[in-house]
Amino acid sequence: MESYILDWANLLLRWLHVITAIAWVGSSFYFVFLDSSLTPPVDDDLKKQGVSGELWAVHGGGFYHPVKFAGAPPKLPEHLHWFYWESYTTWLSGFALLTVSYLWNANIYLVNPANPVMSSGMAIGAALAFLVVFWLLYNGICRLFGEKEGGDGIVGALVLVLVCIASYVACQLFPGQAAFLLIGAMLATSMSANVFFWIIPGQKTVVAAIKAGEPVDPIHGKRGKQRSVHNTYFTLPVLFAMLSNHYGWLHSHEMNWLVLILMMFTGAAIRQFFVMRHGYKLGRNPHPWKYAAVGVAVLIGVIAWLKPVPPAAVAVHPAVIAPVGQSVLQGEEAKNMAEMAENPSTAKAGSYENIHTVMQQHCVVCHSANTIAQKNVKFDTAEEIKQNAQGIYQQVVMLRKMPFGNPGALSDAERASFKQWFESGAPIH
């Protein structure tokens, strides 16, 4: 019953999280576009009111005319819309989802049984520390350098170094899938904290000053704008980190920390292209194609780097070269298969007995009538294992996604034995 309730909690929280994240990212992207696309007002009446920029747009069969005031508007409207619940709900639902999916079963998803660096309790504490410590360090950098002349460049460089260090450390402490997710949650936490601690309080201070007839300190707008810009550059790296758990060949790579850093850099570079392109259309910026080119070049480089190594490149024994239409073995995996072919004593690695032993250790915790039977897939009998052989091959060998949440628990040799077992007809005797 517990697993059933957790599945529903996971589904509903994920649904809520995705919806609110779409709303938050959408409003964030819109206001970045709006700020970059405003033009000086033409109408004299708007100028007299203190309008510094305007935009005409058409959408959904109607015309829209948003304007931005340089300072305070002549009169505050009775109903003022605040954009913050999109952020708060996204973070709250995301943290609840992290709790249900990872922290609740830390011994499975946060601890690698093949290399247990920490206990479950320590892993939970370390995961939460990533969220808090990064925010404190990032916020300290912004406070120390963000308001100085030329400080934006220093802040950007220091935050980049901080993200790189956090990515490396996370990938050493946690299984790859959890490490990628935690880095995404870490950045998302700082994004929401920017809204909670700086952007909204600053806006409320400005509104209070206007209502009291007091002069408005421009520092609040400057700080809010700075944190809002940081959030827009964090967005694509966060989305990549959150989506990466579907692709085991990314987070299970031996240098997964570098894969994560390069892919997040790609997202930030491409986001910079779109931010600057808004101004380019109005003649304010040179064409930002260089940022897109750098982002795409890094992306292509990562794709080329991670491609499977052909068996011939690692001197694989002819007996284990994959037939046409079947997957090509990765380098280390191919070496393991070659050893099996050369040494008959290790040939049993691809036998049903060996596969069954590995599955009893890593698979039945989620796929048994006596435990969870996730997706209604059970491995209690030899016949059930044989029936699901195709799916086992796909998830364990091709996608390298299982065990779910902790694919690093299986060694390359164990994955190679699954491949040998399946390609020999998935025998169960």
Whether residue 339 is found in the same domain as residue 268: no
CB 127 within 8 A of CB 103: yes
Same domain, 25 and 152: yes
> What is the pLDDT at residue 158?
97
**For residue 72, what pLDDT is reported?**
81
Within a domain: 428: no
Check if the beta carbon of residue 167 is closer than 8 Å to that of residue 251: no
The reply to whether 392 and 270 lie within a common domain is: no
Residue 76: other Cβ atoms inside 10 A:
11
pTM recorded for the entire structure: 0.76
Among 305, 336, 352, which residue terminates a domain?
Answer: 305
In degrees and rounded to multiples of 5, residue 60 shows phi and psi of: 60, 35
CA distance 386 to 388: 5
One domain, residues 298 and 387? no
Lowest mean pLDDT among 7-16, 40-49, 80-89, 364-373: 364-373
Instruction: Quote the pLDDT of residue 240.
Output: 96
Helix (H/G/I), strand (E/B), else coil: 364: coil
Choosing from 286, 305, 324, the residue where a domain stops is 305
The whole-number pLDDT of residue 310 equals 55
pLDDT at 351: 83
Range of the domain at 386: 311-423
Calculate mean pLDDT across residues 139-159: 93
158-172 residue pLDDT tens: 999 999 999 999 999
Residues 179 and 319 both lie in one domain:
no
Instruction: Tell me the three state secondary structure of residue 66.
Output: coil
Instruction: Using only the alpha carbons of the chain, give its radius of gyration.
Output: 26
Give per-residue pLDDT as tens, 287-333.
899 999 999 999 999 999 988 765 444 333 343 333 333 333 444 44
Degrees to nearest 5, angle at CA 323 with 318 and 329: 70
- Mean pLDDT (the chain, rounded): 84
Distance, in Å, from the CA atom of 99 to the CA atom of 5, rounded to the nearest integer, reads: 14
Cβ–Cβ under 8 Å, residues 292 and 270: yes
Separation of CA 328 from chain center? 28
- Predicted confidence at residue 384, as pLDDT, reads 82
Which range is least confidently modeled, 37-51, 135-149, 322-336, 349-363? 322-336
> 234-280, pLDDT tens digit by residue?
999 999 999 988 787 788 788 999 999 999 999 999 999 998 888 77
Per the model's pLDDT, the better-predicted residue between 358 and 237 turns out to be: 237
Q: What is the mean pLDDT of residues 40-64?
A: 93
pLDDT value at residue 331: 47
> Are 214 and 322 found together in one domain?
no
The pLDDT value recorded for residue 334 is: 47
What confidence tens digit (pLDDT) does each residue in 372-385 have?
A: 666 667 788 888 88
Last residue of a domain, one of 283, 305, 327: 305
